């Protein structure tokens, strides 16, 4: 075979390959005249969160956060493409219809994932005081479908004082981190700009330069402890949530409620401490360890951290003993790795802000 003939055959082969590839793509993407919605076969799976924490409900409307209300998996199990697939969601009477993505074509064997990040109605959410069941409605449609298809999932909106430690089912709680994977929501309970909390914090500070002086910031931590003792604040054990595993869900007070009621759990006392610290510009953290929570203050210049055992306000012991006790507790927890620090200001910036 001469060189010229060989070149011609190579060119012809390339042309055939390109043509067959184009025909293949065209076959799977063109809207065939034989298309019929009756021939469409879809497997639609809706995975909804069982519980929605309304304490920071705005976080669920932010697509930059992983806290969607529902995730829908749509798989084309048929032999023809699905065109113009549209999906939308509605959370009872607490949202309008929220549109997800529009998928121009879903080819056979393809799976797409869609998420629900709704804008919950603030006035209606604020009126929730107890765990409330609602229907999540998932509606989808596609080309030439006569009527949209609706799926329903039962979910629960928690009251504004409710906190669920985790969204994971019990059989998936393998580590301490799993049991506390909702920890960013705790930032929403810390309300430094709320009037009562802010006024009390400034009265405690009494002229201290808490934002610029390390000694004054530390002194503020001590003064909060002393004021709590003066107000007769007591430490209370958290009650078990009825019908749910111990520690999974509990009613949680805001700083004002803890101080006015003069009692709180370790979490509530820690939240109150942090609320008062943040109100005068002292950066604070919540340290979560198995079965306990401790507030931590960061000094403005050195960046040193000082924790305090807030539950000891229910004793005659001085603040320095509470600081030493907290340091020992956190040191022991750090050695096992069972500790989570909630960076309050970081999570505020991410959208877990006080809503009330």
Q: So what's the pLDDT on residue 168?
A: 79
DSSP of 133-170? EEEEEEEEE-TT-SS-EEEEEEEEEPPTTEEES-SS-G
* Residue 255, both tokens: 């700083």
Q: So what's the pLDDT on residue 173?
A: 84
pLDDT classification of 244: cutoffs 50, 70, 90: very low
Instruction: Write out pLDDT tens, residues 9-34.
Output: 555 555 455 455 554 444 444 544 57
Mean pLDDT value across residues 191-199: 97
Classify the phi-psi angles of 327: left when phi > 0, otherwise alpha if psi is within -120 to 50, otherwise beta: alpha
Most confident range, picked from 99-108, 239-248, 267-276: 267-276
Adjacent-strand bridge partners of 12: none
CB 265 within 8 A of CB 273: no
Residues 69 and 54: their CA atoms lie apart, in Å, by 12
Mean pLDDT value across residues 51-72: 93
Domains, the chain, in order of start with CATH, read 37-157 (2.60.40.10), 167-349 (3.10.620)
Q: So what's the pLDDT on residue 248?
A: 61
- Judged by average pLDDT, the poorest of 79-83, 175-179, 314-318 is 175-179
* Residue 280, both tokens: 């005068």
DSSP of 252-321? ---HHHHHHHTEE-HHHHHHHHHHHHHHTT--EEEEEETTEEEEEEE-TTT--EEE--GGGGGSS--HHH
Residues 50 and 169: their CA atoms lie apart, in Å, by 10
* Residue 217, both tokens: 């910031």
Q: So what's the pLDDT on residue 247?
A: 44
CB 121 within 8 A of CB 15: no
Residues 67 and 51: their CA atoms lie apart, in Å, by 11
Residues 12 and 171: their CA atoms lie apart, in Å, by 61
């Amino acid at each position: 075979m001469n060189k010229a003939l060989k070149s011609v055959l190579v060119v012809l082969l390339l042309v055939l390959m390109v043509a067959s590839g184009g025909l293949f793509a065209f076959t799977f993407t063109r809207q065939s005249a034989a298309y019929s919605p009756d021939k469409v076969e879809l497997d639609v799976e809706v995975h909804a969160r069982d519980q929605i924490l309304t304490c920071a409900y705005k976080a669920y409307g932010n697509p930059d956060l992983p806290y969607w209300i529902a995730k829908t998996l749509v798989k084309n199990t048929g032999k023809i493409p699905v065109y113009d697939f549209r999906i939308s969601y509605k959370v009872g009477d607490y949202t309008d219809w929220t549109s997800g993505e529009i998928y121009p074509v879903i080819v056979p064997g393809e799976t797409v994932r869609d998420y629900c990040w709704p804008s919950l109605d603030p006035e209606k959410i604020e009126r929730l005081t107890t765990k409330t069941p609602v229907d999540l409605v998932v509606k989808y449609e596609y080309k030439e479908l006569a009527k949209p298809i609706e799926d329903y999932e039962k979910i629960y909106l928690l009251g504004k004082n409710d906190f669920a430690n985790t969204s994971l089912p019990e059989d998936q709680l393998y580590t301490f981190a799993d049991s506390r994977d909702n920890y960013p929501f705790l930032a929403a309970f810390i309300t430094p700009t709320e009037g009562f909390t802010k006024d009390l914090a400034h009265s405690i500070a009494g002229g201290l330069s808490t934002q610029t002086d390390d000694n004054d910031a530390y002194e503020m931590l001590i003064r909060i402890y002393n004021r709590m003792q003066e107000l007769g604040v007591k430490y209370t054990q958290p009650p078990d949530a009825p019908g749910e595993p111990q520690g999974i869900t509990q009613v949680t007070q805001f700083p004002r409620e803890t101080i006015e009621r003069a009692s709180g759990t370790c979490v509530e006392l820690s939240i109150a401490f942090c609320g008062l610290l943040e109100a005068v510009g002292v950066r604070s953290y919540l340290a979560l360890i198995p079965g306990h929570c401790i507030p931590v203050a960061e000094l403005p210049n050195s960046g040193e951290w000082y924790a305090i055992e807030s539950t000891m306000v229910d004793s005659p012991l001085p603040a320095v003993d509470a600081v030493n006790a907290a340091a020992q507790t956190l040191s022991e927890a750090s050695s096992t790795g069972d500790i989570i620090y909630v960076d309050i200001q970081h999570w505020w910036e991410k959208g877990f802000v006080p809503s009330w």
